[in-house]
Structure 1
Amino acid sequence: MNTTTMIIIGIIGLVIVLFIIRAPSKASKILGHGAIRLTIGVLLLFFLNVFGGSIGLHVPINIFTVLVSSVLGIFGVTSLAAIHLFIL
């Protein structure tokens, strides 16, 4: 199995365990918000790469860039793009 499949299986297993043991709602909300923010961060980076490809902009999608874009949102994505354009 590849890494992506293992991560997806792990997340599904965690959700099932949380439903079985009836985790406190606050912990479930925190995990849910974190998962949503990570997904939005990955999507923002993906669309940046798709639309920025025409001007030669490619920001790699790795754990660091996903964390920056998920914590900072659009400002994080623009800062990553600026770092790529002006520093790298």
Structure 2
Amino acid sequence: MKVVGIGIIGMVLLLLLVMDKKQIQKVLERLSVYWFRLAFAFLILFAMNVAGGFIGVYVPVNVLSGLLLAILGIPGFAALCAFAVFL
């Protein structure tokens, strides 16, 4: 397990050495947008869980549903609502 971790860190450092400054800025900007979307998705999941608790609908707050909501956006929100109601 340690070897895999060291290998991944080495590959990331090698990629950073090959990239120029503008490419690194683009990658970090996209990564920051993704992390913001993920954090906002968990906020929405928490709000859905609290609001759904009043009407007896349970919305799971876990990594998979957070990723679904962060990646798909509004269709992901609709899918989570459908899963919560019909399952």
Identity score, percent: 38
Runs of 5+ unmatched residues, structure 1 = 1-21
Which amino acid in 1 is paired with 2:60?
Answer: P
Question: Who is 2:18 aligned against?
Answer: none
- What is the deviation of 1:28? 0.9
RMSD of aligned alpha carbons: 1.9
**Residue 46 (structure 1) aligns with:** 46
CA distance in structure 2 between the aligned counterparts of 1:53 and 1:64, rounded to whole angstroms: 20
In 2, Cα distance between the equivalents of 1:69 and 1:35?
Answer: 12
Q: Which has the higher contact order (CA 8 A, sep 6+)?
A: 1
Q: Which amino acid aligns with 1:28?
A: L
Match in the other structure for 1:34: 34
TM-score (norm 2): 0.67
CA contact (8 A) 1:44 1:74 kept: no
Cα shift at 1:74: 3.2
